[in-house]
Every structure is written in structure tokens, then in C-alpha cells.
Structure 1
Amino acid sequence: MNYKITIVMLLAVLLGACTEESSKTKTFTSSLLQYDEKIDGIISQMTLDEKVNMLHGKYMFVSAGVERLGIADMVYADGPFGIREEMEPKSWAPLGWENDKATFFPTGSALAATWSPELAYAYGTGMAKEARLRGKDVILGPAINIQRIPTGGRTYEYMSEDPFLSSQLAVEYTKGAQDNGVAACLKHYALNNQENNRGTVNVIVGERAMREIYLPPFKAAVQEADAYSVMAAYNKVNGWWCAENDVLLNQILRNEWGFGGFVVSDWNGTHSSVESVKHGLNVEMPDSRYLGTALLDSVKAGAVSEEVIDQRVREILRVRLAIEPIPAEEANQVVTSQPESQKIAYDVACKSVVLLKNEGILPLDLSKKPLIAVIGENAVREMGNGGIGAGVKTLYEVTPLEGLKNRIGDRAEIQYAQGYVPVELDFARIFGGKSQEDIDREDKEKAVLNKRLNKEAVELASKADIVLFIGGDNRAVETEANDRENIFLPSGQDDLIQQISAVNENIVTVLVSGAPNDLNTVKPLSKALLQSWFNGTEGGNALADILVGNISPSGRLPFTLPIKLEDSPAYALGSYPQGAKKGDIFVDLVEEKESEAHAADGKLENDPNTAYYSEESLVGYRWFDTKNKPVMYPFGYGLSYTEFAYADINTTQESYGADETISLSFNLSNTGDMAAEEVVQVYVHRINPSVEWPFKELKAFTRVPLEPGVNQTVTLEIPVEDLQYWNEETQAWANDLCDIELLVGASSADIRLKKQVSLK
């Protein structure tokens, strides 16, 4: 082999990669760097003990400042859909205050269903204002991991299966929070896409898929919103714990993206002293096992330089100087939930509800004062709390039944039947602490009660003019620390709706869920079908406004609803689930186990704690479209009480260069008789690419409000730079200059207009 030629060729590739990377990656300089000169003076006055004291938890949701130098502690607010109640400093026990009752904002998938960056900004604003009233500096949110599996325990908390939609919302949520004086903490960085074994699982993912699918929301929030902090996930990525992953934290987050803030571990998610602090972790929460005395000893022994400690402290101080601390005596003076935030929660809820099916039964006809049977425990269930992890002690929460009574009044007779026994959170059952004998006895008792509740519901349905079946999941079914085993409706709801349909065919089904459910039974038996989410403080009023026709539904699915779970990519390929569920890192804080820092032997084939992302970039609708597999309802889908017509698509050019922006326009008309909003979506299909791509990808969208009979020219832009792919050989973003088809429509499957252009 000619080693001289080989070295020259290698240098050429590396130089080419550097050139391409520098020309294609947007430069970004964090505003936090403006404080560095002042920080130099602060650090010069600090002792080593004071520096290390800033790098770990002081209390459950507080990390230390330096009182001697006037540096306030950093106070965290557990989120991301409401400010958590106040707790004892060193435990999870609530203090039992009244003023800490907060607004429950619709959860992540509900926000995503609005397809509205404007509402995401308002959402961040509301969260920040309530956090400030409570004296908080950092909101632990937004939660922006991709919804890889329909069963994911935090699907309700995350936003979407699509990185572009998630990115647009993450940017605005972050801006809304930070413009109002609170640091956002992006979580969970990165690839925290399952809850089962999240504290031990090692994600094996190709770099192109990582760069194109899983990292874009984080990158966008850093570079477009200047996010001040990031939370490292529990899991490993390609062999390294996220809290000590040099590639993720230093190479990508800081060096490549320009992140200027600090990285905090997820609670109990730190695994080392030396590697964590060297590889980019700033704060270990909630204690000091690794970044306390052990780190101090490591510095004194020469295993970690004080320069590294100084840099970690600097990154924290940047945020501390950017966020004005609230004196303790000024916090918690008024109740947390305020009317302004409640209005934001209502607005999000209104625009999140997705109408999946309507055979003319909606809006409800109240002209003859019908008897409406409201059936289902979710009609009266509050969703602010109920699962493991973050919850909201709400000032109030309007349930669907309350909302219907509020909006209908005496225009109909409303009667309620519970219908089924709900799932309740049972730690012993989830984590193996209950005997099979006790489980069998409890199940038998529930079956008897369920049968009685079924009978009562059917009797009520038989007398009613209309049945509103309000089912779905609850926060005990969809919960942090535990993925669902399937997506069937719990508590025998399918069986119940079959019984109801035998006595009354006028069924409107409302699914109060944060994630996909199997709809094979309820869809054909329902004359109307809606997805209503865990929709916050004002969710019941928003739902009722849509059911009675005060508002036209305008939510769109942020994920694909499959015909059956086994059709979804990770299940179809057998890459999930990997093995048995074994406890949880967050729940089981007492019984901590030492784990090796990274996998060195590469023997992963039989490891149940290894997640191979074998579908690569084909996540969600990308999989179904590329594999030409039918779905129950496609990504981006949602009906209205009116109709919209699309016409006359045009672009400003027939071809676009690599540094140009595609501009397309078309005419949109409201052809119905009700004011409504259409969510216009633009997908890109590559016609003759040089590398593999999904069949199509979302690259632009907007909400368009239109009065009846009105038409409007809609213009959308797509920078050609946003159509690049990650070239694993050159380790850089690269153009695939080919012909593309611009697909404009109302969902990923409902394409109304097409226009071909070329990239040159």
C-alpha cells in the first residue's frame, strides 16, 4: 500500500468535510458569552470547594450558588406542562401549600396537535410567568424527544414523531420562556425514546438517523432560541451514558452548535465523576454522589484539571447572570395559576382537538333538547396528576362532563354513567412487588364491578338520543418510567362500546389520551370520533365548545395512528421491546446499582438493554409512506366543520441553487359556511436522489384562518439548506441536488397540489 497517497487522500477528505461543514452549518454565537469577562472576575475569587459545590444538587430542585460572592442558588421548576407543587427541600413530600396551585397546560402531544408555533410561544410565556411567581430560575422543559414508539410512556409529554414539527414548536416554547425571564431546559438529550429500562438501555443508532431525526429539535432550540440549559437523558447512546457522552455534550452540543449554557443530569442519572465533568456535565442532580467530594478528590489527585472545573462553573454562571434571581421573600406571594395562563391553556386546548371522523352528527343538534348520555370515567377524570414523575397541582381542572354542562346548560338533558373501572397506578404491580394471588383477587373484584358499571351505562344509552362516549387512557396508563404493553383501550372499553352500539347507534367517541390507541373497534361503531388529549386546566370547556359548534375543530395529528401496533416500524422490525422490564432508575432511587460507564467489548447481540434503531430514519409516517403500508389515520390528519379548496400552485423559480430558498404559493378557499382554520402542510419528495430518502418529509406548514367564502394566497418557504442530509463518510451536511416534488396538502396522505422543481 502507498501510505503517502493514502494519507494525502485522507487529508483531502477531512479538509473537504471541514469546508463543506463550515459552508453549510449556520454559525451561532450564544448571547450568554457576553458575561464571560465578568465571570472571569468571579471565578478568580472562588475557592475550589466553592466551585465544586456548584456542580451538584443542594436540595431536590436546587443547586448551589456562592452566597459569599452574591451568587444566588439555581432553583428548578419541574415541568414541562405546569409548575410542580412545592416540596420538602430534601424529599418528594409536598409542603401542602395553597399558593402553589398552578395552571395545568395541555401536555406535549396536545401542543403539537395545534401545529402552531405562535401558541408554543404563548405556552412558554405562561409557564415562565408562573415559574417567576414561584421564584424559579429554570423550567425543566420543553420535552422534545421524538415519539419513536406508540407505546412510549412519555409520548403524551413529547411533541411529535416528526423532527421539523417538533423543532418549530421547541424553538417558540423556549423563546417564550426565556423572553419572560426563565431559562428553558431542553430534555431529554438525547434519544430517550422509551421508558422501559431507560436507566440502563444503550441506544445504537446510525449517525445519519441521529442527525436527521432525533437531534434537530435540540439543535433548533439551541441555535434559533439560544436555549440556556439542557438535561442529559438517563440512557446511553452508542455505548456512553448521556450524562458523560463527549460526542453529544462537547463535540455536538457545544463545539458544533455553539451552546453556551449548562447541562444538568436527569435526577439520579449521573454515573461517574471524572468522565462526567470532562465530557460536559455541569450539574449532578439531586445529590452529590459523583460531583461532590469524589470530584474534589479527583481534582486534588490530578485526574481532573481545575481548568475543566472552571469551564463547567463558567457555563453555569452565564445562565445565573442572564436570569435574575427572585428573592425568597418575593416568591409565592400569590396563587400560581393566573387568568392569563388559564387563557393560554384554553387556546391551546381549543386548537389541539382533532376531529377524526364525522358522519354529520357534529356539531351536536340541541334544538329539540335531547337526552345526552355521557359515558366513560374519563368524562370526570382529572389528568393533571396520576402518573409517575411530573404532575401539576391545579387550581382547577374542567373535566369533559363539567365543560359540557357549562356550554350546554338547559339546552339538553345530560346524564352520566361511569361505564368502566379505570386503571389506577399500582407501583407494586408495575415493579413486581405484588403476589400473583393478590393480583388475581383484585382482577376478579374489578371484573365484577366492571360488569355492573357496563350494565348501568348500557341502560342509560338505551334511553338517550345521543351517546358521548368519553374514554381513552389516563395518566396511570400513560406514565413516565413505564411503556404500555399495547395500545388497546384499557378497562374493556372496546367491549363496552360494542354493548352500547347494540342499543344506540348515535355514538360520538372522544379519546382522552396522549398517545395512539387501537381504533379498530370504536371507529366503525362511532358516528363521530375525536382525539382530545390530556388537555389541561380548560380542556373540558374547549372540548365542549367544539362538540356544540362554538368552534370548528382544527387540531391535526402529530403522529401516525396505525391500524395495529405491529405495523409501526420498531415493532415491525422486532427492535422493540428488547426484553423484560426491570425496575426504574427514577422510581427505585434507594437501590442504586453500579453500571459500567461504557460498553467496551461490543457484544450487544443478546443484551436486553440494547436498543437497535434498525428502522434508521424511517420513523412514523416516513416508514408507512416508504413501505406503502396503510394506516388508520395519517400524520397531519384532522377534519373541520367546513371544507377547504386548494388551487393554483406556483413557485418563484423552476430551479433553485444550494444557497437559495424555495418559495411556493397557492390559493386556499373556505368553501363551507363556518369560519375555521386550515393547517396547510408541505412535504418534499425526491424524484432522482443520489442517496436513500424516506418517500416524503414535512418541510413547511402554517395555520390559515378563513371566514366562509373567503380565499387567500398562502406563501411558504423552504431553504434548500434544510433539504440536506448527513453524509456519514465526510461527517458533514451535504446537498443532494436532484429533482424534487413539492406536495401541498391537508395531511401526509391528503395531497392536494404538486409542483416539481429542480435543485442545482
Structure 2
Amino acid sequence: MFKTSITTIAFAILSMTAATSKAQSYPTRLLDHESQINDIIKGMTLEEKINMLHGKNMFSSAGIPRLGIADMEYADGPFGIREEMEPHSWNSAHLTTDSATFFPTGSALAATWSTDMAYAYGRGMSREARLRGKDMILGPAINIQRIPTGGRTYEYLSEDPLLSGMLAVAYTRGAQDDGTAVCLKHYALNNQEDYRGFVDVRISDRAMHEIYLRPFEMAVREADAWGLMAAYNKVNGRWCSENMQLQTTILRQQWGFPGMIISDWGGVHSTVDAVTTGMNVEMPGSRYMGKALLDSVKAGKVSEAVINQRVREILRVRLTVKPIDKAVANTKPVGNAEEMATALEIARRSIVLLKNDQLLPIDAKHVKRIAVVGENAITKMALGGVGAGVKTRCEITPLEGLQAALPANIKLTYVPGYKSFDRESRSKRLSPQQPADKKLMAEAVKAAKKVDLVIFFAGDNREVETEGSDRKSITLPSGQDELATALAKANKRMVTVIVSGGPVDVSTVSPASGALLVSWFNGSMGGKAIAEVLTGQISPSGKLPMTWPCRLEDVPAYATGSYPQKLENNNQNDIFVDITRNRSNERRQQLIANYTEEEMVGYRWYDDKPAPVAYPFGFGLSYAQFDYSNLQVTATADGLDVSFVLTNKSSRDAEEVSQVYVSRPESHIARPVKELKGFRRIALKAGQQQKVTIPVRRTDLCHWDAPAQTWMLEPGIIQVKVGGSSDYLPLSKDFDLK
């Protein structure tokens, strides 16, 4: 339960110790050029300085040609390098050399629970960015998944700050070790798409630091992230792009961030406040930080010292990232074998097996006829909806993957079963939740009766889950529940694969299916990966990075009434949509989002409530069986080492993600029932036994002390719990934390 204080505040304060400093804990490369930057700034005119502080083209900002300082080139991401656009519009440049690898989206990466995969992901993105002439990747996207219906839940990583943070650190190091800057986004608390252009998030200082800012802090302090993007929304009454607390007090002073902040496109709302609180580059235009800023300096409203500091922060990044000659960029093919191989390895490890009544893997000795049902079996997910997409050279669909993976003597029959929600339907503002198409359903049922196995590809697509708007429901679209029920009556041997970026309601398809999997929006090689899992070439090993609720009303933001917000006379589109259509993006409405659930996001909430969940955080089955034993907890200089023995009790090789949670039953402050504090992915051969050690850092055992404005470590008895998901923790041991 969420405990309240049981001792005096004075005793609690005396028993705690500050645990972190205000400086970065990972060495930065951005301060290696300060002397050179001093000379550059001295030689610049005021006009040249101002010219660096706003967009030049749709995805670039100006350098200093006279001094040989190149423009900054931005790569829209975060799951693939976007195609080239016309300089001042959202129209394609129609090049033939600007394709890229479609990497699995954020929720898929998070389902791997692998920092190695996150590092490879960042490195792969950087390699392609360099070939395309880009200096900064607009990613990773690391906002917390507060609601399952969020339009960008598929881009974000997890509901848990530690999982999000550790993956963000690895992604950042992978990209920047290869030479491309990251731009962490969206800073901060951009946890919904509806009304994101003007919603004002009200949140306590502790919840903000412990849950929503923690991934950003980790990527800045532990990976030296060189860039951040300010979010569209407000936080505690101030736009993120001019928020002194976020941009100056926390980011630059507490975390020691020396890099640059860019706005989200059209996300600047002032001149003086934006530049003085820390904004470096207004994108994509110059409305506030062009002539208006020049005039403000000349009028004495902004000092040139502030301008010099903003220019310095840009130059730190510019001189650290080697520019690519524009004559070289986009001259070599992108989406090559190495990056496709990385995308495949991530996709393989992301697929989550939720249920298996011995239907999987497919037994080729007994299964000779298979019906593949559902348009998601043939739908490509690299493009769709609003916002970033990838013009990929290759995307293997699930049907193509199965056709390549199955023996020639197995007959595959494909029927669509339903008509997917498409762009035309979205533009008409129709609901994705429509009745089943009777004709298509009848054809699917007929096919199901004639086969040994049905594989039903259900779920969403990129038109259902999209930037700019949140889903209004987690019910499966296009009458898929009705279709699933009919298919199950026709053939009890049905496997359902959910293709989505976030949770959906599986209350109908789960009991109708003998096996249930989640394959996400899984990138260029996603079809090959799901085919390998279904046919048993590999064992599924993904784990859910977010809770899958039974009902939307059980989700904390919905249960507390803080989402969705109600707005009368809403006649405005999304802020980004307005920009792409050359409409005014001024936001005059006022709308409050009170995060009344505080730190109780995701599994933290469900642990304290009677409402059941469909599938818990960290859950995922395997074709193998793993046994946990012999837990030991020992103190180290940096925290704890949690050791145990993991045994693969099956006859097949497989990987397991072991998770460490900590409970504080005797805490003097309010805490969740348990919190994730460590994890590790382990590969074991059939029958292999291995001692596994997972470090738990002291910094991750701290809580945020709002009055002291620092992280504090509370000593006392903690319970260390280990297992394969948040609801399967067979090992537990008390430890006296000092």
C-alpha cells in the first residue's frame, strides 16, 4: 500500500542523507572547445548571433558561413531517419537516396528490456543519420506512458522511469559514441496528445522528479546527452519553452546540462522569456527569436551576455559533432544490411507471449493448412498518421515472414477479415471502433473452417495510434472482437497476434485464442521476427514495458478524473497539425491537467488497488521454463549486488529478463508497494544454470526531497524481490540499507 508517515518529520529528515551532487556524473565532451568558442563569439556580429537562434529551413538552423561554422542539420526521428523535405514546406523533396531503416518503435525497444539493444539502436540511428548528413537526431522520445491511449505511446518507452532511463542512457551513448547528437524529447510531461498545445500540467515536485523527469536526468547526467527538445505543453503554469524551473533551475543548474535546447515545431510563445530561461533555437521559423529578439537586445530587454550564452551552448554541440559536407550527404544508400540486422535483433527480443495453451510453436508435423486472417498481416507500419515516419527500403510484413519461414508443404491462405481504419476515415474524424464487415467476416470464417490453425493479426495501425490525438478507447478497431469470436467458433485452434504500439482491450480475443502475442510496430524486419517466434526458430523473450489494463476506467489518470480533460467550444486542431497546414498555431485556451495520482503511475497504482489487470508490467512468457533460487543481497560501494541462480529447465535455448523490485514496508515517507530497481536479460542454453548478479544503485534507491531540492537516501529495512515479472517474484530477502 501507499504508506503515510509513521514517525515525526524531524526524525525522518535526520535519518536521511543527500545522495547526489549537482554536477554531471558522466564526463561531457561539450566543454572541450571553450577557448575556441570564446574567440568565435568575439568575432561575431549581433546579427550573426541572433541568426543562430532560430530555424533556417524546416529541419536546420544556421551556422556562421563567414567563420566556417556549418549549419545544424536535424533528423526527425526517433525510430528512423525521416525523408528529406523541401526547405520551407512539409512536402517531400522526392529524392531517391533518402530511404532509411525502420527501427522498431519505442514501446518495442522497451519490450526488449535490453540496454545492449538500446545502444545498438542508437548507434544504428547515428550511422544512418551521418549518411544522410544529419548532426542531431530528434530522439529518443522518453516521456512516461501515463495513459495507454496516448497518441505517442508507441514512440515512448515505458510507464516506469528506471526502465525508460536506462534505455535512454544506452540509446544516447550509442548515438553519440558514433558521432551524432541526440535530442531528448519532449521535455517535459508531454504525456498526452489531446490539447498538448495548451494543456497545463499541475504536479508535485516529488512526482515530477521521481517519475517524469527521471529518464531525462539519467540521460543527461549518465550519458552526456547533448540536446533536448522543449515540449508544447505548460508545466505548473509556464510553457515548457520558457519555463525557468525546467530549463534553468533543474536542467542547467541541478543536472549541469551544458548543451542546447530546441523548441518543438511552433512551440515558442515569447521572445524575452524564452531566451532568458534557456531556449537556444526556435524551430522551424523566426517569429520570436529572429527580428523580435534582435529588437529586444537593442532595446535593452535582453542583454547580449544572454545571447552569447545561448550561442555558446549551440557552438558546444556544433564543434563536438563533425559536420557532413552537403555534397556528400544523401549520396550513399541508407537502410543497409548492418542496420537491418540490428532492427531484426531488436524485433526478435521485443515480441511478448501473453498466453500459450500449447498451440505454439507451430508443429509442422501436424499443421498442414494455416489461415492468416487480418489486414495487419499485410499492412506496413513505417508510415501513417501525423508526424514522423520512415521511407524505408524494406519492410517485411507478417504474411511475407510466414511465407518465407514455413515449410513448402504447409499451405497458407490469407483473407483480410476486416477493413483497417485508414487515413480517409481519420480525416473524416470517424471512430476506429466500427462494426465488423459482414462479407469479410464470412470469408474469414469460411477459411477458418478448412484449416488446422488460424493466425489472426489484430490490433491497431499508424492511423489509429498517431501524433496529434489520443485514442478515445482501447477497444480493438474495425470490429475485430466480433471477428475473433466468430473465428473461434469456426476453429478453436487460433493464435492471435496483436500489432500495436500500446495496450488494447484483450478481454474478448484472449479467451477466444489458444495463444496470444504482442508484436508492436516492429520495424523493417518485424514480419521476419514474428514468423521466427511463431515457428519456434526462437523463443519469445519480450516483457511488457507497461501494464495492460482490463478497463480504461481502471487507469490511474482516468480513475482520478484528471484525464480526459473537458474543453467547451474546442474549434482548434492540434498545434503541429496547424503548422503543417500553414494555419495559425496560437493557443489562447486554458486547460488544467492535475496529476492527482502523483507517483502512482502504472503498476505502482494497480499494486495498491483492487482492480485486476489483463497483463501486468514486466510480464512475458517463453517456450522455456525458468527457475529462480538462492537469492543473496550484499552491500557494495555503489549500492547493492542482488545475486541468484537462474536455471533453464527446458530443452530449448532461450532468454529471460530477470527483474529486481524493492519494497519499503517500514518507510517514514509515502511510497508505492514496490518499485523496479534493476533488471538484466540473460541467455541460457537448454538445461543451463547460471549465477546472475544485478546491481542496484544507491541513486536508484533514493527519493526526491522537495524542501531540500535533492535526492535523499532513507536508511532502514528494505525487501528485495526477484523474478520474471512484477507479479511473479518468487525470491525475497530483507536487507538493512545503511
Same fold (TM over 0.5): yes
Greater Cα offset, 708-717 or 551-560: 708-717
Q: 1:360 aligns with which of 358, 361, 375?
A: 358
Distance in 1 (CA, whole Å) between partners of 2:53 and 2:65 is 15
Match of 2:592 among 594, 610, 615: 610
Are the structure 2 counterparts of residues 585 and 594 from structure 1 closer, same or farther at C-alpha, using a change threshold of 3 Å?
closer
1:591 lines up with 2:571 in the alignment: no
Which amino acid counterpart does residue 522 of structure 2 have in structure 1?
Answer: N
Q: Give the counterpart letter for 2:627 in structure 1.
A: A
Between the aligned partners of 2:519 and 2:590, the Cα distance in structure 1 is 35
SS in 1 for 2:301: coil
Distance of 1:751 and 1:503 partners within structure 2: 39
Q: Tell me how far apart the structure 2 counterparts of residues 666 and 628 of structure 1 sit (CA, whole Å).
A: 31
Amino acid at match of 1:413: K
Tell me which amino acid in the other structure corresponds to 2:124: G
Q: Using a 3 Å threshold, how does the CA distance of structure 1 residues 419 and 326 change in structure 2: closer, same or farther?
A: same
Q: Map 1:187-198; keep pairs closer than 5 Å.
A: 187-198=185-196
**Which letter maps to 1:351?**
R
718, 722, 732: which one aligns with 1:744: 722
Question: Aligned to 2:263, which of 238, 262, 265?
Answer: 265
How many Å separate the matches in 2 of 1:524 and 1:711? 35
Shift, 1:533, TM fit: 0.2
**Match for 2:602: what amino acid?**
G
Q: Which residue of 2 aligns with 1:510?
A: 497
From 439, 442, 461, the equivalent of 1:455 is 442
Q: Do residues 109 (structure 1) and 91 (structure 2) align? A: no
Structure 1 residue 19: Cα displacement: 9.2
Determine if contact 2:618/2:724 at 8 Å carries over to the other structure: yes
- Would you say the 8 A contact 2:659–2:680 is kept in 1? yes
The answer to whether the Cα contact below 8 Å between 1:24 and 1:733 also exists between their aligned partners in 2 is no
1:312 matched residue in structure 2: 310
Q: Specify the code of the residue in structure 2 equivalent to 1:611.
A: A
Partner in structure 2 of residue 601 of structure 1:
none
Structure 2 partner of 1:7: none
| Cα distance change, pair 17–189 in 1 and its aligned pair in 2 (3 A) | farther
2:657·2:682 contact (CA, 8 Å) conserved in 1?
yes
By how many angstroms is 1:662 displaced? 1.2
Contact 2:103 2:522 in 1 (8 A): yes
Task: Give distance in 2, aligned partners of 1:143 and 1:595.
Answer: 24
* Residue in 2 that maps onto 1:479: 466
The one of 208, 215, 218 aligned to 1:217: 215
Q: Equivalent pairs: percent with the same residue?
A: 55
Match of 2:44 in 1: 46
- Distance in 2 between residues matched to 1:430 and 1:704, nearest whole Å: 48
Q: CA deviation at 1:29?
A: 5.3
* C-alpha distance 18-547 of structure 1, shift in aligned 2 (>3 A): closer
2:22–2:255 Cα contact (<8 Å) kept = no
CA distance in 2, matches of 1:562, 1:506: 25
Q: Distance in 1 between matches of 2:229 and 2:88?
A: 20
Residue 624 of structure 1 is aligned with which of 595, 598, 606?
A: 606
Match of 1:529 among 516, 528, 534: 516
Write the mapping of 1:116-265 to structure 2, written as runs, cut at 5 A. Answer: 116-265=114-263
Deviations 1:629-651 (A, max 9, x none): 32111000000001000111112
Give the aligned partner of residue 699 of structure 2.
721
Indicate if the aligned counterparts of 2:624 and 2:650 stay in contact, CA closer than 8 A: yes
Match of 2:627 in 1: 645
Give the conservation status (yes or no) of the 8 Å contact 1:17–1:731. Answer: no
The whole-number CA distance in structure 1 between the counterparts of 2:715 and 2:14 is: 18
Are 1:735 and 2:713 counterparts? yes
Q: Could you tell me which of 378, 381, 403 is aligned with 2:379?
A: 381
1:569 to 535, 538, 556: 556
Say whether 1:694 aligns with 2:672: yes
Q: Is the 8 A contact 2:660 2:723 kept in 1?
A: yes
CA–CA separation in structure 2 for the residues paired with 1:279 and 1:373: 59
Cα shift readout 1:396-430 (whole Å, capped 9, x = no counterpart): 10000000001114131000000111111248746
With over 3 angstroms needed to count, the CA separation of the structure-2 counterparts of 1:356 and 1:402, relative to structure 1, is: same
CA deviations over 1:322-344 (Å, ceiling 9, x no partner):
00000011111111111000000
Q: Which residue of 1 aligns with 2:346?
A: 348
Residue in structure 2 matching 1:76, options 66, 74, 79:
74
Question: Distance between the aligned counterparts of 1:152 and 1:242, measured in 2?
Answer: 19
| Contact in 2 for aligned 1:124/1:176 (Cα 8 Å) | yes
Q: Alpha-carbon deviation of 1:730?
A: 2.4
Q: 1:338, 1:614 → 2: CA distance?
A: 47
How far does the alpha carbon of each residue in 1:40-73 deviate from its partner, in whole angstroms, 9 at most, with x for none? 0000000000000000000000100000000000
2:7 corresponds in structure 1 to none
Deviation of the 1:727 alpha carbon: 1.4
- Is the 8 Å Cα contact of residues 24 and 222 (structure 2) preserved in structure 1? no
Residue 450 of structure 1: CA displacement? 1.7
Q: Which whole-Å deviations, capped at 9, do the CAs of 1:678-725 have from their partners, x for residues lacking one?
A: 100000000200000010000000011101111000111112332111
Give the deviation of 1:460 after TM superposition.
0.6
**Residue among 648, 668, 680 paired with 1:670:** 648
Contact 2:15 2:714 in 1 (8 A): no
Counterpart in 2 of 1:37? 35
The 8 Å contact of residues 271 and 595 in structure 1, kept in 2 or not, is answered as no
Q: Are the equivalent residues in 2 in contact too, given 1:84–1:390 (CA < 8 A)? A: yes
Alignment of 1:376-415 (within 5 A): 376-415=374-413
The residue matched to 2:658 in structure 1 has which SS? strand
Letter in 2 for 1:529: L
1:478-508 deviations in Å (ceiling 9; x for gaps) = 0000100010000000000111111111000
TM-score, normalised by the number of residues in structure 1: 0.92
Alpha-carbon separation, structure 2, partners of 1:320 and 1:578: 41
Which letter maps to 2:172? T
Output the amino acid matched with 1:587.
V
Structure-2 change in CA distance of 1:37 and 1:751 (3 Å): same
Query: Match of 2:583, SS?
Result: coil
8 Å Cα contact 1:687/1:738 also seen in 2: no
Secondary structure of 1:702 counterpart: strand
Task: Tell me the secondary structure at the aligned position of residue 208 of structure 1.
Answer: helix
Separation (CA, whole Å) in 2 of partners of 1:23 and 1:33: 19
Q: Let me know the Cα RMSD of the aligned residues.
A: 2.1
Structure 2 SS opposite 1:32: coil
Please, which runs of 5 or more residues in structure 1 have no aligned partner? Answer: 1-11, 432-438, 597-606
> 2:329 and 2:420 mapped to 1: Cα distance?
38
CA distance in 2, matches of 1:650, 1:593: 57
Distance 1:119 1:732 in 2: 32
How far off is 1:141 after superposition?
0.4
The SS at the match of 1:587 is helix
Q: 2 CA distance for matches of 1:184 and 1:262?
A: 10
Give 1:734 deviation, angstroms: 1.6
Scaled by the length of structure 2, what TM-score is found?
0.95
In 2: Cα distance, 1:16 partner to 1:699 partner: 25
Question: Does the 8 Å contact 2:658/2:681 carry over to 1?
Answer: yes
Which residue in 1 is equivalent to 2:541? 554
2:402 counterpart letter in structure 1: L
What's the offset of the Cα at 1:84?
0.4
Q: Could you say which residue in structure 2 is the equivalent of 1:682?
A: 660
Unpaired runs of 5+ residues, structure 2, are 1-9
Amino acid at match of 1:585: I
Q: Is the 8 A contact 1:17 1:730 kept in 2?
A: no
Structure 1 position 179, deviation (Å): 0.8
Q: Which residue of 2 aligns with 1:538?
A: 525
The alpha-carbon deviation at position 673 of structure 1 amounts to 0.6
Counterpart for residue 8 of structure 1: none
Counterpart of 2:212, as a letter, is Y
Measure, in 2, the Cα distance between the counterparts of 1:696 and 1:272. 42
Report how far residue 387 of structure 1 moved.
1.2
Runs in 1 of length 4+ with deviation above 6 angstroms?
A: 15-19
Please say if residues 354 and 516 of structure 2, whose CA atoms lie closer than 8 Å, have aligned partners that are also in contact: yes
